[in-house]
Amino acid sequence: MFKKRQKDKLTAKEVDAALEKLRQGYDDYIIKFMLPMAEKRAFEDRYVAALHSRLDLTRFIKDEMLHLERLNREQQEAPIEAARASAAAPRKTGFAERVMEEMEQKIESYPEMDFHEDASPEIKKLYGALLELDQKYWSLLSSFIRKVYSSSVSYNLENRLLRMTAPAGREVPPELDRYYFLLNKEKSYAPELFREAQECIKRGAFFLHELRRILEEYKERQMMDENVEAAYNYIDAVISDFRLKDLRRN
């Protein structure tokens, strides 16, 4: 179905072309065998996880090609038996899926901002974590930052946090507005949707890293009381659990 390269990494242009072929391949598979959209949605979720974890996309694409070929082969050879076997026995898990499963386990305890049924679970959880930060910790953090650092910085951070957590008369917070719009488009899994999903994750990550950097100095100087330190530890945990460590502004 697809041409494969065994040794060299794919270029950015080749990656985009291969992703489009995979999406078309999943569409053809769904239409041909009259199946629900679950497999394509799972592919897109794995792709987002692969981007977020900095997975080698050449490896990811190769795994997805093999998986799609196997799905087609199973349906062609024995549709009913294959469907029963697939439901009864877990299939071999690829690297991208293992990364996603590990993350899902770590973020399971965080609240969820449930603004759209097709939204990425990672975005629902990350923005739910930001909402919890706002509700449980921001008041004392804002007061602390104004006292030891800068009232203007505290005000700027507060406005950014509000844009990620407060609907402000909308159905979703402003920073999720475009993502929500794309989710409601007829072509739900267009590439632009996943680029916007990554932007949503980056906005949350950049905010958390900036807030952590400001607080870190005062933690090292032992100027935090136990409540501010608990807030700092929460921010640190979110960065770790959502694999945001390297997702910061240069």
What are 206-249's pLDDT values in tens digits? 999 999 999 998 998 999 999 999 999 999 999 999 988 878 77
In contact, 110 and 122? CB cutoff 8 Å: no
Residues 164-217 pLDDT 10s: 999 867 789 999 999 998 888 865 555 677 788 889 999 999 999 999 999 998
Q: How confident is the model at residue 82 (pLDDT cuts 50, 70, 90)?
A: very low
Whether 236 and 216 have beta carbons less than 8 Å apart is answered as no
pLDDT at position 88 over 60: no
Q: Which range is least confidently modeled, 62-66, 80-84, 222-226, 240-244?
A: 80-84
Q: Provide the whole-model pTM.
A: 0.66
Question: Does residue 152 register a pLDDT over 80?
Answer: yes
Residue corresponding to tokens 């078309």:
24
The percentage of the chain sitting over the pLDDT mark of 90, rounded to a whole number, equals: 40
Q: What is the pLDDT of residue 4?
A: 45
pLDDT at 48 over 60: yes
b/e sequence 28-67, b meaning 16+ C-beta within 10 Å: ebbeebebeeebbeebbbbbbbbbbbebebbebbbbbbeb
Is 60 exceeded by the pLDDT of residue 78? no
| Residue located via tokens 């697939």 | 86
CA proximity to 47, closest of 198, 185, 238, 188: 198
Task: Provide the pLDDT for residue 109.
Answer: 93
- Residue 113: phi and psi, rounded to 5, are -90, 100
When comparing pLDDT for 49 and 120, which is higher? 120
Pick from 116-125, 127-136, 170-179, 182-191: least confident:
182-191
**pLDDT tens readout for residues 16-29:** 889 999 988 988 88
Q: What is the predicted pLDDT for the residue at 198?
A: 85
Q: Looking at residue 94, what is its pLDDT? A: 61
Q: Would you state the pLDDT for residue 188?
A: 53
- Picking from 54, 57, 32, 30, the residue whose alpha carbon sits closest to that of residue 41 is 30
What is the per-residue pLDDT for 191? 67
pLDDT of residue 212: 96
Residue 155 has pLDDT above 70, yes or no: yes
Q: Is the distance from CB of 107 to CB of 163 less than 8 angstroms?
A: no
